[in-house]
Amino acid sequence: MIDTLEDHFTTTGARLATLRQACIAPVPDIDALCRARHGLIAASLTRSRYIQTSVLPRLIAATPALAALRDELDRDLSHLRSAMSAHIARWSVAAIRDDWQGYREASARFLARLDERLRRERHVLLPALRALA
C-alpha cells in the first residue's frame, strides 16, 4: 500500500511538472497544454480515489481516531476540487490564447495549492501507514 501511494504521488508530481513545463513557453502550445491539464486531472483523481477507498479505510480500521483526519482531508479536497473546476471554467482555450500571461499566473497559484495538498498527504498518510507495518 505504501509503494502504491508513493507511486501515485510520483505520478501526480510528474503531471504537475509537465503542466509547469507547458506554461514556460512564450506562447501557448494548446495541444501540449490540454494534454498536460488532462493528465494532471486524471492523476489527481486516481490518487484521491485510492486514498479514499484504500488508504483511509485501512488507517481508520486500525486507528478509529483517524476518522477526523479523513473528514479534514475530505473538506480540503472539496475546496481544492471546487477551485480546480473554477480554474478550468475560467481558463478555456480561448481565454488562454487571449491572456497567456494571466493563465500562467493563475496556474502557478493553483499548482502551488496542489503542491501543498500533496505535501500534506505525504506528511500525514505515509508515516501513518508505516506505523501500521
Task: Give residue limits of the domains in the chain.
Answer: 2-132
| pLDDT of the residue at 106 | 96
pLDDT of residue 25: 92
pTM of the entire predicted model: 0.90
Q: Is the pLDDT confidence value at 33 over 90?
A: yes
Residue 67 has pLDDT above 90, yes or no: no
Q: What number is the average pLDDT over the span 3-25? A: 97
With CA atoms as reference, report the closest residue to 20 among 105, 120, 119: 105
**Confidence class for position 91, pLDDT limits 50, 70, 90:** very high
For residue 95 the three cell numbers come to 481565454
H-type alpha helices, 23-99: 30-50, 56-62, 67-90, 93-98
Residue 11 burial (CB count, 10 A)? 17
Q: What is the pLDDT of residue 133?
A: 79
pLDDT classification of 46: cutoffs 50, 70, 90 = very high
pLDDT (tens digit per residue) in 99-114: 999 999 999 999 999 9
Give the residue from 114, 88, 130 showing the smallest Cα distance to 3: 130
pLDDT of residue 7: 98
